[in-house]
Homo-oligomer: A and B are copies of this chain.
Amino acid sequence: MARKHNFSAGPAFMPLSVIEQIQATLPELGETGQGLMEISHRSKPFEAIRDSAEARLRRLMGIPEGYAVLFLQGGASMQFYMHARNLLAGPDDKADIILTGRWSDNAIKEMRRCGDVAAAWQLSGDLNHVPQPGDALNLRDDARYVHFTSNNTVYGSQFHALPETDKPLVSDMSSDICSRPVDVSRHAIIYAGAQKNLGPSGVTAVIVSPWALEQSSRVDATIPGGLPSMLDYRLMAKKDSMFNTPNTLGIFALEKMLAWIEDGGGVEAMEARNQRKADALYAEIDRSGFWTGCTTVESRSLMNPTWRGPSAALDTTFVAEATAAGLLGLKGHRSVGGLRASIYNACEQSSIEALVSFMQDFERRHG
């Protein structure tokens, strides 16, 4: 076995200790006589796993009482539509969105199927960034909520403070959930595909406020056909995410990832760890002028630093040489090019050191 330095954007690197726990349970989970993938989701052992995953997420994020915690399928792309379908009853219902890159562009497309959705802010200029405290947001008084993408995986930018508004927030937190403390009480809905900070792909964590659950009832009563069962937050909450068979292995893996975070000191410890890693990488990006960061300094992501070399051709060479040297997944997203290192919670400081050392070597040879 030769596990390499893995900087993939998602599915992403996971701690070996978590992987080994999944491995061990595949032929038999505990003393059940059944493997992890073969056990009924209605069984006591699986219910205990699901309950523990929920309890851990509640503790880690400080989720207020009354909020529902769901483990669904379909990823953030399904939530782009599902959250709007639960909150907006048609063209008379308004929401605002902050457009900071690719995933928010995808989100607005799905949200507009359900209501009147307008951009309160839109990325412009050469460098990626997100609105900073004091920047004007063009929010509408009668907007019911404001949607934003807390971290932009493709563009490498991240909100370091919540958007300035009193409206309920809806946040796509796929790429930075549990990487730092967040005030959940300011949010109507938080959703996150698990495959970056919470485990394997195929599970989506969704946190839903009491206000958002009320909206589901309001909308259900007005839209033709009503809310489809699988898209109804109330039903998913009532059934503890087990209206139908959930991704049982995915929820087990997520529980183990949350345990790993808790054992590592929680989200505050993760934030310190992530800051250290990002600082080391950005210091190298800024060191000599050979590399150029793709994001303004104040918007830089702790999860997905993006940068470029002197030419697109050299970026291609960098990716090829890095791959050969055991540093994987450094190619920028196909829509923007350049370079990107995805350094979620599980990424080790030693991987950053290996990357920085390789960047310095590359600069010596090609600079």
Contact = CB atoms under 8 A, between A and B. Distances in A.
B201 A246 contact: yes
Contacts of A226: 113
**Residue in A16, A90, A224 whose Cβ sees the most chain B Cβ within 10 Å:** A224
Given A201-B248, A202-B246, A6 B34 contact: yes
Secondary structure at chain A's binding surface: helix, strand, loop or mixed?
A: loop
Nearest to A6: B34
Contact of A6 (B33, B113, B195, B329): B33
A33 B16 contact: no
A328 interface: yes
A66 interface: no
B2 A14 contact: no
A41 B203 CA distance: 15
Nearest to A113: B225
B245 A8 contact: no
B41 A201 contact: yes
A299 to B, nearest CB: 24
A40 B12 CA distance: 7
Given A195-B245, A246-B201, A8 B38 contact: yes
B23 A37 contact: no
A312 interface: no
B245 A247 contact: no
Given A40-B8, A113-B226, A202-B73, A2 B247 contact: no
For this chain, the copies found in one complex come to: 2
A19 interface: yes
Given A6-B38, A28-B1, A11 B245 contact: yes
A202 B27 contact: no
A328 B16 CA distance: 32
Interface string A204-245: 000000000000000000001110111100000000000111
A131 interface: no
A249 interface: yes
Interface of A: 1-4, 6, 8-14, 16, 19-20, 22-23, 26-28, 33-35, 37-42, 73-78, 80-81, 85, 90, 106, 109-110, 112-114, 193, 195, 199-203, 224-226, 228-231, 243-250, 253, 326, 328-329, 334
Given A2-B33, A73-B247, A109-B229, 6 more contacts: A1-B28, A19-B37, A22-B26, A33-B326, A74-B74, A193-B245
